[in-house]
């Protein structure tokens, strides 16, 4: 029987990949800050509506500290992620997301005291390797192309920053959920994230605001927002049920789902070996807990 955390993580990975693919399309010709904000805007009412019916847990200073540290980092990662997608080819940016699982082999152990089994750690390493190879070999220059383009592609540097930030916010988020509850955390954290990112998004996208209802950017952001909201909920529940390193590593299957979108929607090829490596990693994690 598939563990619940694994099922939820696969849902999170699939909906994230779907949202990313739709966001990439929405970014064409539009301001990335505004599109990024519109992607998360519908999450605010979605999570706020049930807030009066959610029991308020006893909240201590550590919970508020998690919010104070996590929200600015999360906002920076959101904008950097969209900027990376816009500035550079996918094969030169997405491979660097493989850094997050590697960092999570260490950070949760230090901050949360989580311990990994040998098989689980090997699975995380395989997923990190597969997620790098999955996109690194799809463009010109082979598997070393992302490293060679590291200082010439601004998008690559943006994605490295995203990977570093996510390795920290994943741990902070799990701690905040443990200090409250999954639904309460979602109802507080993501509306605050929408508010925090609004000033920069509205300022950067001010030229498009007047024509928001007619230029197509609002309509193009609705589907990415829907799938992004689903991945938020599934992420929050999954990460409470297992080690952060395992959950985030398996969530990197979003890159594999993205490859499948490219294969069947756009006729792209490649990635078979990397896909098998990633699936082997998932198998080791599932069996090695």
pLDDT tens digits, 168-211: 999 999 999 999 999 899 999 999 999 999 999 888 878 777 66
How many whole angstroms separate alpha carbon 46 and alpha carbon 187?
Answer: 8
Domain that holds residue 243: 4-288
High-pLDDT (> 90) share of the chain, %: 25
21-25, 117-121, 152-156, 208-212: which range is least confident on average? 208-212
Length of the chain: 289
Q: Is the pLDDT of residue 140 over 70?
A: no
| pLDDT per residue as tens digits for the range 247-271 | 998 998 888 887 777 666 655 565 6
High-pLDDT (> 70) share of the chain, %: 87
Domain count, the chain: 1
How many whole angstroms separate alpha carbon 255 and alpha carbon 144?
Answer: 18
Q: Is the pLDDT of residue 28 over 70?
A: no
- The mean pLDDT value of the chain amounts to 83
Quick one: pLDDT at residue 167? 92
Quick one: pLDDT at residue 253? 86
How many whole angstroms separate alpha carbon 182 and alpha carbon 236?
Answer: 6
Q: Is the pLDDT of residue 122 over 60?
A: yes
Q: Is the pLDDT of residue 63 over 90?
A: yes
59-73, 133-147, 273-287: which range is least confident on average? 133-147
Those residues with Cβ within 8 angstroms of residue 226's Cβ, 6 or more apart along the chain or in another chain: 42
Quick one: pLDDT at residue 13? 93
Q: Terminus-to-terminus CA distance in the chain, angstroms?
A: 14
How many whole angstroms separate alpha carbon 26 and alpha carbon 288?
Answer: 40
Q: Is the pLDDT of residue 158 over 70?
A: yes
Phi, psi of 67 (to 5 degrees): -65, -45
Got the DSSP string for 56-72? -----HHHHHHHHHHHH
Q: What is the mean pLDDT of residues 71-76?
A: 95
Those residues with Cβ within 8 angstroms of residue 214's Cβ, 6 or more apart along the chain or in another chain: none
Quick one: pLDDT at residue 141? 62
Residue predicted with more confidence, 175 or 145 = 175
């Amino acid at each position: 029987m598939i563990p619940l955390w694994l099922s939820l993580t696969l849902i999170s990975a699939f909906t994230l990949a779907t949202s990313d693919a739709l966001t990439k399309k929405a970014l064409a010709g539009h301001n990335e800050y505004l599109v990024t904000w519109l992607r998360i805007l519908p999450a605010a009412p979605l999570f706020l509506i049930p807030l009066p019916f959610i029991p308020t847990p006893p909240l201590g200073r550590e919970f508020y500290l998690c919010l104070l540290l996590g929200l600015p980092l999360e906002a920076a990662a959101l904008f950097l992620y969209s900027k990376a997608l816009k500035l550079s080819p996918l094969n030169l940016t997405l491979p660097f997301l493989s850094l997050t699982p590697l960092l999570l082999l260490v950070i949760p152990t230090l901050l949360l005291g989580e311990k990994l089994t040998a098989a689980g750690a090997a699975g995380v390493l395989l997923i990190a390797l597969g997620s790098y190879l999955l996109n690194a070999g799809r463009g010109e220059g082979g598997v070393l192309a992302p490293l060679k383009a590291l200082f010439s592609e601004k998008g690559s540097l943006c994605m490295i920053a995203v990977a570093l930030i996510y390795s920290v916010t994943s741990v902070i988020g799990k701690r905040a959920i443990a200090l409250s509850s999954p639904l309460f955390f979602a109802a507080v954290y993501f509306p605050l994230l929408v508010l925090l990112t609004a000033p920069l998004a509205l300022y950067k996208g001010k030229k498009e605001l007047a024509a928001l209802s007619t230029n197509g950017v609002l309509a193009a952001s609705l589907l990415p927002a829907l799938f992004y909201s689903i991945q938020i909920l599934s992420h929050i529940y999954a990460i409470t049920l297992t080690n952060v390193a395992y959950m985030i590593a398996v969530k990197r299957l979003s890159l594999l789902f993205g490859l499948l979108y490219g294969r069947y929607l756009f006729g792209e090829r490649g990635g078979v070996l990397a896909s098998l490596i990633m699936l082997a990693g998932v198998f080791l994690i599932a069996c090695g807990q």
